Structure 1
Amino acid sequence: MAETARAASRRGGGIVSTLAPERAPRSEQPAPRRSASRPALVERVRDVFTSPKSGPVLVTAILFVAVFAVGGVRYPAFLSGQVFLNLFVDNAYLIVLAVGMTFVILTGGIDLSVGAVVALSGMIAASLLQSGWSPGVVIPLILVITSVLGLLVGLMIHVFEVQPFIATLAAMFLARGLCYVISQNSISITEPTFVALAVTRIPLGGGLSITPSVVIVLVVIAVAVWVLHFTRFGRTVYAIGGGEHSGMLMGLPVARTKVIVYVISGFCSGLAGVLFTFYTLSGYPLSAIGTELDAIAAVVIGGTLLTGGFGFVLGSVLGVLVLGIIQTIITFEGTLSSWWTRIFIGGLLLVFIILQKVLTSRRR
């Protein structure tokens, strides 16, 4: 046995050496796991920011926080909680418009009629309330009328295969013309219940307060998020934006969904018109001109692709808040014209469209 061990030792370095694993040189040893996890984390963060789905939304959130911080540094009272809540109070109607517009743009469509429908809702409300109608009848009637108008637009797009741009442009002229049929002058709203709803403040404690319009907005946002992310209808909306023909091949109710999307937009436009009359307590044929462009800009800045398929309701809300915070800073400045808001909106819109184009091209 000893002789065998000595022979093995002479041939291969001994039995122990043949069974023991070879130790790699120090330079060839694997790197620690911690150093390998850092590039993986960086890669994951980069994927999130370069994703066409989540990247623009995160950029919008960072932009909002940055602008809000700049305002707080420049103006001592800017960082108060009431300034933040006033963004919802002053832009309640625009948030509701942006929610409805998000549904439309997610399918790859567009709705140019929402501003005119807001004005029409205000004119209907003011004229009927002046005639002695109850707000409990007027408000539901407005929502039904605007939803029917959205239904007609959706049917025009689906049945007659009219481009959404043309169909909603026709609806815009129709709604604006009906405003002048009702009255060519401004109509004040003095109905007690309506006025009480307009001026009521809901205390939150600490000197903070909101209006009933903000409560309605929060409900609309919650319902829209649930519909888009937790229902079959919402999944169909995203599928249409990703590829309408593919959705049809999968057996999805594409036609019905496209029509309902414009009904939702019409409903949101009518509700936004009611909230706008709470804010102004009047109806005027020329009100809300260009509001449809503000809603589209907010949705795009919030990360929704104009071609459809990608986007979030909360992103659109962030887009509205960005526009609102810019307007608030200009108001605090006091020396700048309100037209600077349009200049900043135009610049942001251009930047975010380019950002979307870059992100989607990288994914291809």
Structure 2
Amino acid sequence: MNIVIAPDSFKGSISAEGFCNIVEKTILELDKDATVHKVPLADGGEGTVEALTYNTGGKIKEATVTGPSGKTVVAQYGILGNESTAVIEMASASGLPLVPQAERNPLITTTYGTGELIKTVIAEGCQEIILGIGGSATNDGGAGMLQALGFNLLDDQGEDIPWGAKGIAKLASIKKDQVAKEVTAIKIIVACDVNNPLCGPNGASFVYGPQKGAKHDEVIWMDQALRHYADIIQTDLGLMIADTPGAGAAGGLGAGLMAFLGAELRPGFDIIQAHSGLEEILRNEKVDLVITGEGEMNHQTINGKLPAGVSALAKKYGVPCIAFVGNIGDGAEMVYDCGLTSIFSIVPGPRTLDQAMANADSYLYETAQRVLKLWMIGKDELK
């Protein structure tokens, strides 16, 4: 029996690596001679650093940086096994969970700490950065990040603009003569699964501003601030960024990364699976089953989410693929078209969210045991 385990994390309860360990334990209890390939994955959000360092034999490190509200936070980053590529989750430095709900205010939150993390890995000699930008607390267009990297973003008095959306509304000019050559030379690949433009009804402010604490009138104001930001970028850098797909990701961080640092945006799953060796395993091994999973599978899963990508790869190589999830949401059946064979919720019955998350490890173990026992019987009968 040869099984691949390639899940996303269950946010807040089971890491992707933890999922792999639990399901591996179940498999080996049922068949001690089974071959198990553990490939913990992520799609650019939570778990990206862990997944890439695990799959490449890299190292996870920490750095003290400026959090989104200006307080210092300890952020994680990874150095991959090749020692020349770093992986950063911007949420570790500038993410929404770092701001208490009552204090969330994208008018003043900053990406400065993300810039500090980039400086840290440049100082380590890295030549490439994989940057996951999900889960931001900010709406500053990446201005704070750019200030940390040495760009001068100035108001009409020639003074540095303040942090947050309030700052970019005051932007009058951009100076980059003090930016170190190492900053502009490093290659940045952004793991991004959204195509939102910077401004407008589908832009950063209107779509994501409310979840970051912005009221309706503030959303309108922030959209205008980002449009002004785009106008200054066009005037000073000669780049039209406002309508570029992905520019609105992470409160406009996508725009800042592309316009100032020449970053390339790619689907998160594509980046991470390419470093994981998952396709090589499916191509070269006689795999009997692929197991994937995520916290909730629903209609959004087909839009570049990790289980859809894993299912498509399994289908490409003619391998059945099943998913263990916390919740089966509306439209989850659409993932069958990607190649998924079946979906199983690990929650055994009515539970509160807190109960489900607190017991997720045992629920996953018990569900995997029941499903794999049945799968093994069916497999044996087909011989």
Q: TM-score range by the shorter chain?
A: under 0.3
Larger Rg: 1
Higher RCO, Cα 8 Å, sep 6+: 1
Task: Give the helix-richer structure, 1 or 2.
Answer: 1
What is the TM-score with the length of structure 1 in the denominator?
0.26
